[in-house]
Structure 1
Amino acid sequence: MSAFLARLVAILSAACLLFTCQGLIIPERAAAADPGYLMVHFTGEGATNQQMYLSHSTDGLNWTDLNGGGMVLRSTVGTKGVRDPALVRAPGGDKYWIIATDLCISCGQTWSQSINDGSRNLVVWESTDLVTWSQPWLLNVAGAIPDGRNAWAPEAIWDPASNDYVLYWATNKPLDGATKHRIYYAHTSDFRSITTPQIYIERPGSQEIIDTQIIEVPSGVGDYRYVRASGDGQITLEGSNSILGTWTNLGNLSGIGLTGSQVEGPMWMKFNGRNQWGLYLDQYATGGGYMPVTTTDPSNPAAYQKQASGSYNMGGTKKRHGWILNLTAAEESRVLARWPNTAINRLQSYNFQDRYVRHTGFDVRIDQNITGPDAQFRLRPGLAGSDTVSFESVNYPGYFLRHSGFDFQLVYNDGTTAFANDATFRQVAGLADSTWSSFQSYNYPDRYIRHYAYELKLDWITTTTGRGDATFKVTS
C-alpha cells in the first residue's frame, strides 16, 4: 500500500510540475501598440509651403501626411509665412503651443532682407486639445536686443529649476566685431510675454549658430540629463545636467559623414518602448528633406548610425525643419480624427453652372470659372452633429463657411457651440435636381444655403428660382 501511495504521489507531483512549467512558458498577452508620433513642419518656399503641416508615424521612421498633405494652420499675422516650428506640450498635458519663425521667403522677403532687417517676432498658436487652435499672435522676442535684426528657429523646453519655459532662438546682430547669428534665451510661462533676452550660445569668431534643439535623457543613459544638437558648421553635440548650466562639447557627426554644410535643422525624437533615439536632419544642401540617424546614447557621437534609404519613408510632402511629439492614445485619436485625408471639392451652382462657391476677402459668393484654392473646400464631418457636413477652406484651414445674420462668411473656428451650429449643414437631395445636393441649416432647418445676386445666403426656399439657387454639385 505504501509503495502504491509513493508512486501516486510521484505521479501527481510530476503532473503538477508539468502544468507549472507549461504555465511559465505561456507567453504574456502582447501589450497594445504604443501610440505614434506627430511631426509639425513646413514644406519649402513660397506663401503656401511656409505654413504649418502635420505628419503622423506609427514607428517613428515611416511618415504619412495628414490632411491629404495640405496645410493645417495658416499664419495671418506678420509676414504671413512661418517656418521652423516647435510644438510644446505643457507638463500637465492640458495646453499646447506652436511657436514658429515669422518668415516668408519668395513671398515678400529676400534672404538678405530677412537676415539684416527681418521680423523680430515669433508666431504663436495655442490649443487645449491639440486640434482646435487659437488665432496666431506675434511675440516680440528680438525687439529688446539692441540692433537685433531678426528672430529665427525658436525652440522651448520646460525647466523644472525655474518652473517655466526656457524659450530660445537665433538672432543676427553685431557684437564684439562680428555680425552673426547667436542663440538667445528668455523665460516665459505663457508665450505672450518674456523676460529680458540673454545670450545662450555663441561660437568663436565669425562662426554662426542658428539651429539648436535640446532633448532630455533619462537617468542611466550617458552622463548628461540634457543633450543638444546644433547646426554651427557641424552638427555639434553638447551635454549638460541643467538647461542653463554649463554645457560640455561632446563632438559632432562628421564621423558618419554629416556636417553643417550638408544638413541642418536637427530634430530629436525618442522611440517608444526602447532606449533608442532618432535625430532627424534636413538635407538642405541637396534639397532632399529630412533623413534620420539613430542612437542608443544621444551623448555619444560614436553611437550614431545612418539609416539605409529604404528603411524610412518621409511621406508625400518634403519635411522641413520642425518638431516631433510622442503622442498619447487620446491625442492620437483626436489628431487622426481631425485631419483625415478628406477630398478637396468645389461647389458648382446648378442654375449658373459656370460659377462656383468661393471666398474673397472672407465674404462668400459664386463666381465664374474659379479653379484655385479660394474655391476649394473639404467637406468635414459636421462640427455640431452626426450625419452632417461642415465646409473647411483648403487655403485657410480652420476657417469654415458660417452664416451670421443669414449671410455667409469664411470664419475661423473659435471652438464654441454657437460657431459649430452656424457652420453645420445636412446634405440632402437637390431641391431642383435630386442628383445634385442642397444644404439644410443645422440650427435653422427651415432654411438652406442659396445664392442671391451671386452672394451666399441662408434663406427660406419657396419658389422655383429659389430651388435652383439652393442646388449645388459637389465636384472636384
Structure 2
Amino acid sequence: MQHKQIAGYLYAYFSGDESRADSQQIRFAMSRDGLHWLELNGGEPILESHINDCGVRDPFLIRLQHGGFALIGTDLNTNAPAYADANGAPQWRRMETHGRTDILVWKSDDLVHWNGPRTLPVARDLNAGNAWAPKAVFVPERGQYLITWSSTTAADNYAKQRIYGCWTTDFTSCSPAFLLIDDAHSRIDTLIAPHNGRWLLIVKDEVDKRIDVKTADHLFDEDANAPETSALSREFTVVPQRALAEMTWVEGPALVHRADGSTILFVDEYARSKRGYIPLISNDPTRADSFRALDAAEYEMPRFARHGSLLPITEEEWGALASAYVRA
C-alpha cells in the first residue's frame, strides 16, 4: 500500500483483562494517527476460537498480495484445564512442552467478514511442544509468504525456544518447517519487515527480557542453496536503540510504517508495571538510537490491549469497519 492511500490503521489484539472469560479472543481498534485508538465493537471480541484450546493470542494481520487479508494467531488459552496444576493455576512450562503445534488462521476479503478459524500445522515436523506468536511477511524474490514462530522441541527436552519458519502461498497449506534462529538462549516474538529496500528483524531476548532491532540488506544468505536449509542472513546486525535498551520485561513487538514516513514500534510491557503496549517512534529504524519512547500523554491505547499487530488501511476499509463495528 502506498503512503498516499493510508487513511488509518487497524490494530488486532487480545485483552489482558484476566477477569473476563473471553479475554483471550481477538479485539479490533482503529486509529487515524496510529497512536490514539478507538475500540471497535465496544471492546468486545470480533473473532473467537472455540476449537482446540478455545482461545487465540498474539494475532497478526497481513494484507495479501492479490487482495484480501489473513489473520494468524497462537492457538492457546492459558486457562485451559490441560495446562493447570492440581490447584488450577496455569503452568507455562506445560504450555511450552504440551501445547498446540498448529496456528489459527482467519481470512477475509474486507476486514469485516471473516472465515475461520482453521488450523495450519506449521510445526508438524518438529516434534514440537508449542507454536507461539506467528507472524508473516511477503518475500518478493520468493513470491511467497514467510511465516515465523517460536517452538520448543523434544530433541533437547524442550530446553529453549527457537525461531522457525515455513513458506505458504495461501495460508491454507505450508512447507515443512525450517530453522531460522538458534541462539544459545531462547528467542521468541520475531517480527520481520521490509524497510526502504532493507530488512528489519525485531526479536525478544528471553534472558534480559528486552527487544532487539537488527537490520540487513538480504533476508537470507546469498550462498544458501535454499532458504529451507539455512538460517537468516549472517548480515543481520544489531542497531543499538537506547530507548529499547532501557525497557525490560517487554515482548510482542508490533511495527507500522506511517503515511508521514515515520515508524511506530509497539512493545508490550507484560510484567512489573504491566503498562501493556507502549509506542516508540522513529524516522529511520535502521539508524542507531532513532527510537523515542512516547510519554503517556502522547498516546491512548485500547483498554487492556496486549500482544497484537497493526495494519495500514484505506478510507474505504475505514468506512466499512466503522459501519460494522462503531457503536453509536
TM-score normalised to structure 2 length: 0.86
Counterpart contact for 2:193–2:199, Cα < 8 Å = yes
The one-letter amino acid of 1:99's match is I
Matches within 5 A, 1:69-468: 69-92=43-66, 94-108=67-81, 109=83, 110=90, 111-145=92-126, 147-175=127-155, 179-204=159-184, 207-219=185-197, 225-232=198-205, 233=208, 234-245=210-221, 246=233, 247-253=235-241, 255-256=242-243, 258=245, 261-272=248-259, 274-285=260-271, 286-315=273-302, 317-341=303-327
One-letter code aligned to 2:43? G
Shift >4 Å, 4+ stretches: 174-178
Q: CA deviation at 1:47?
A: 3.8
Q: Offset at 1:189?
A: 0.9
Q: Deviations over 1:265-310 (max 9, x none)?
A: 11001111x2210100001112211010111111123111111110
C-alpha separation in 2, matches of 1:241 and 1:333 = 37
1:355 is aligned to none
Q: How far has the Cα of 1:130 moved from its partner?
A: 1.2
Q: Is the 8 A contact 1:47 1:80 kept in 2?
A: no
Larger Rg: 1
Q: Give the deviation of 1:171 after TM superposition.
A: 0.5
Aligned partners of 1:271 and 1:277 also within 8 Å: yes
Q: Which has the higher contact order (CA 8 A, sep 6+)?
A: 2
Is the CA contact 2:214–2:236 (under 8 Å) kept in the aligned structure 1? yes
Question: Secondary structure in 1 aligned to 2:261?
Answer: coil
Distance 1:34 1:169 in 2: 28
Deviation at 1:174, TM superposition (A): 4.8
- The aligned counterpart of 2:228 is none
Alignment partner, residue 62 of structure 1: 36
Distance 1:268 1:36 in 2: 14
Whether the 8 Å contact between 2:101 and 2:128 is mirrored in structure 1 is yes
Deviation at residue 333 of structure 1 after TM alignment? 1.2
User: What is the number of equivalent residue pairs in this alignment?
Assistant: 299
Give the distance between the partners of 1:186 and 1:260, measured in 2 at CA.
31
Q: Structure 1 residue 263: deviation in Å?
A: 1.0
Separation in 2, partners of 1:284, 1:116: 22
Residue-by-residue CA offset, 1:203-257 (whole Å, 9 max, x unaligned): 22xx1111111221125xxxxx11121111331111123333414222344x226
The structural deviation recorded for 1:135 is: 2.6
CA deviations on 1:140-170 (whole Å, 9 max, x unpaired) are 111211x311100000001111111001100
Question: Take 2:5 and 2:103, find their aligned partners in 1: how far apart are those partners?
Answer: 37
| 1:50 aligned onto 2:20 | no
The answer to whether the 8 A contact 1:75-1:82 is kept is yes
Asked if the contact 2:204/2:211 (under 8 Å) is kept, the reply is yes
> What letter matches 2:282 in structure 1?
T
| 1:175 positional shift | 4.7
Determine if contact 1:142/1:149 at 8 Å carries over to the other structure.
Answer: no
Residue identity in the other structure for 1:248: F
CA distance in 2, matches of 1:68, 1:327: 20
State the superposition RMSD in angstroms: 1.9
Helix, strand or coil for the counterpart of 1:299? coil
